[in-house]
Structure 1
Amino acid sequence: MSTPAVSFEFFPPKNLEGSFRLWDCVNTLAPLDPEFVSVTYGAGGATRKLTHDAVGTIHKTSGLNVAAHLTCVDASRAETLDIAQGYADIGVTQIVALRGDAPKGSNGYRPHADGFAGSVDLIEALAETGKFAIHVGAYPEEHPEAASQQADIDHLKRKFDAGATSAITQFFFEADTFFRFRDACAAAGITAPIIPGILPVENWTGARKFAQACGTSIPPLIADAFENATRDGTTDLLATALASELCDDLIIGGVDHLHFYTLNRPELTRDVCHALGVTPKVRLQNVA
């Protein structure tokens, strides 16, 4: 079995404690030599400046390739493209281009009056600059707002046609979920890389809420296992075993790149990577 490439998602810190947690996460996972690391936006673009600052600092101090999340929410076209240009100016050449979630408490997504209508328009504008590799989101199970699974795939095809270079999926619990999605994408004429997103479950209550919000189905056996492990205090052991098994099944099925949602808690992700044979290769530069 070949060793996969890996990448990691972080979120920007909101306070001093969060900053220490983020840098601990970077220090722990950087030696695994990821293809890139990404830094998220909050709902409604709430962490826009924090994301920019975190991207710049990680890029400057770690030597890692950083992919900055960029959304259409609550910003004009000019403002959004200015942010992208700011990333290009500091040498960040990868962007995760997303429509973005509506601000909390709002009645769903509404485009900014002077902004991008959605992710396809954003991707097209970024591609026209010629400055970025563009990652996009994909849903192996039907997006809660989608008319159907096929509508989701058709929308993903439009994103690739607009200039996206790869897609990263929402997390899922069974390898067959990804394989069915991959086959359907191929049938729709999608040939670009689709990278499965992996969530090592650090907190079962939070993961269950996250799954419900984004349309990820939870197999009853896995739900029962986590409920029992939560009572027994063995959640970490179960999470590591299940995520490692899922990744192993994906690799056997031809996947050569895995993207981990770390939630800024690196230990489970590190342990899963070690189980897959992804071991330290480089030493992180000093982080100021």
Structure 2
Amino acid sequence: MTAQDNTKQFSFELFPPKTEKGIEKMRQTVTQLNLLKPAYFSVTYGAGGSTQSTTFAAVDWLRSEEIETAPHISCIGASKDEIDSLLQRYIGQGITRLVALRGDLPSGAGLGEIHDFSHADELVAYIRETTGDHFHIEVAAYPEFHPQATDPFKDIEYFANKVSAGANAAITQYFYNADAYFRFVDACEALNVTVPIVPGIMPITNYSSLARFSDSCGAEIPRWIRRRLEAFGDDTNSIRSFGADVVSDMCERLIANGAPGLHFYTMNQAGATQILCDRLGITG
């Protein structure tokens, strides 16, 4: 996946910082990674819009730098009027790409606060109804299945519904088992779902935090990787070196076997993502 290979697309995800120090760190990360000429930077959006103001601030800065930006937009807990306001704001900023998600209710909120949307396919359909083809819409995909899914076959059908509603492409939850991704793509193709499904890539830099996050979001860390990472203890350098080997090898396999690109979850840190890009020949 080199600078000369323009058939593959790569992108980076950011979260909106809450402090001045965090904002400066994010800007440094963007400045460094933007040299690699990604397709876009996405910006996350908290449960029920809980980070709305900080998401806006991050998006505003990215657009002021003329950087292609894809804000996340989540619908659960939101009204149609609120979604309309978001869409018009982004249209006014010249944004043409969105990541459309169901999202989570804020902590302590009840089901009675769902408002006008229950699922992401409803949000995608509403965006298409109100803005036509203005936005390229990315949706979420779960090769190892959504953590709340009770039926893996239904989970793939739910994904197909989002595509039928008008999604252009998908970004997956991160994973460390390439076979899960390939089997998911095959299952989607069996349902005539052929939009690009871009693997989400999480660098490995800290085992304890990765394990906690993975357990909460349903991302599987294969046992052999967990055991190796556990064995390194507090040896951060060894964790990062091993992590870079594992993730870059997986990325090479994904690209070699047809993945349309890669979407890196940067956690607002440039270093580990830069190492992966260097190994993969992503040079800008």
TM-score between the two structures when normalised by the length of structure 1: 0.92
Query: How much is the aligned-residue C-alpha RMSD, in angstroms?
Result: 1.5
Please tell me the residue identity of whatever aligns with 1:96: V
Is the Cα contact below 8 Å between 1:111 and 1:118 reproduced in 2?
no
Q: Who is 1:182 aligned against?
A: 185
Cα displacement (A) at 1:110: 5.4
Q: For 1:142 and 1:99, locate their aligned partners in 2 and report how far apart those are by CA, in whole Å.
A: 15
Is the Cα contact below 8 Å between 2:77 and 2:117 reproduced in 1?
no
Is the Cα contact below 8 Å between 2:41 and 2:69 reproduced in 1?
yes
Cα displacement (A) at 1:168: 0.3
> What do residues 188-229 of structure 1 show as CA deviations (whole Å, max 9, x unaligned)?
110111000000022221211221122122211100111123
Structure 1 unmatched runs, 5+: 282-288
Q: For 1:59 and 1:175, locate their aligned partners in 2 and report how far apart those are by CA, in whole Å.
A: 34
Aligned counterpart for 1:156 among listed residues 135, 154, 159: 159
Q: For 2:176 and 2:59, locate their aligned partners in 1 and report how far apart those are by CA, in whole Å.
A: 29
Q: How many positions carry a matched residue from both structures? A: 277
Is the Cα contact below 8 Å between 1:111 and 1:117 reproduced in 2?
no
Cα displacement (A) at 1:103: 1.1
Q: For 2:118 and 2:219, locate their aligned partners in 1 and report how far apart those are by CA, in whole Å.
A: 26
Please tell me the residue identity of whatever aligns with 1:41: Y
Q: For 1:111 and 1:71, locate their aligned partners in 2 and report how far apart those are by CA, in whole Å.
A: 14
Please tell me the residue identity of whatever aligns with 1:172: F
Q: Who is 1:104 aligned against?
A: 107
TM-score between the two structures when normalised by the length of structure 2: 0.93
Aligned counterpart for 2:253 among listed residues 249, 253, 256: 249
Q: Who is 1:284 aligned against?
A: none
Cα displacement (A) at 1:106: 4.3
Aligned counterpart for 1:8 among listed residues 2, 5, 12: 12
Q: Who is 1:167 aligned against?
A: 170
Q: Who is 1:133 aligned against?
A: 136
Measured at CA, do residues 110 and 60 of structure 1 come closer, stay the same or move farther in structure 2, by a change above 3 Å? farther
Q: For 2:161 and 2:96, locate their aligned partners in 1 and report how far apart those are by CA, in whole Å.
A: 22
Measured at CA, do residues 205 and 44 of structure 1 come closer, stay the same or move farther in structure 2, by a change above 3 Å? farther
Q: For 2:11 and 2:38, locate their aligned partners in 1 and report how far apart those are by CA, in whole Å.
A: 5
> What do residues 146-179 of structure 1 show as CA deviations (whole Å, max 9, x unaligned)?
1211111101111011110000000000111110
**Aligned with 1:231: secondary structure?**
coil
Cα displacement (A) at 1:111: 5.0
Query: Mean Cα displacement is larger for which, 258-267 or 36-45?
Result: 36-45
Q: Who is 2:207 aligned against?
A: 204
Q: For 1:248 and 1:200, locate their aligned partners in 2 and report how far apart those are by CA, in whole Å.
A: 14
Q: Who is 1:94 aligned against?
A: 97
Q: Who is 2:240 aligned against?
A: 236
Cα displacement (A) at 1:117: 2.4
Q: Who is 1:25 aligned against?
A: 29
Please tell me the residue identity of whatever aligns with 2:43: V
How is 1:1-80 mapped onto 2 (pairs within 5 angstroms)? Answer: 3=5, 4-61=8-65, 63-80=66-83
Measured at CA, do residues 228 and 73 of structure 1 come closer, stay the same or move farther in structure 2, by a change above 3 Å? same
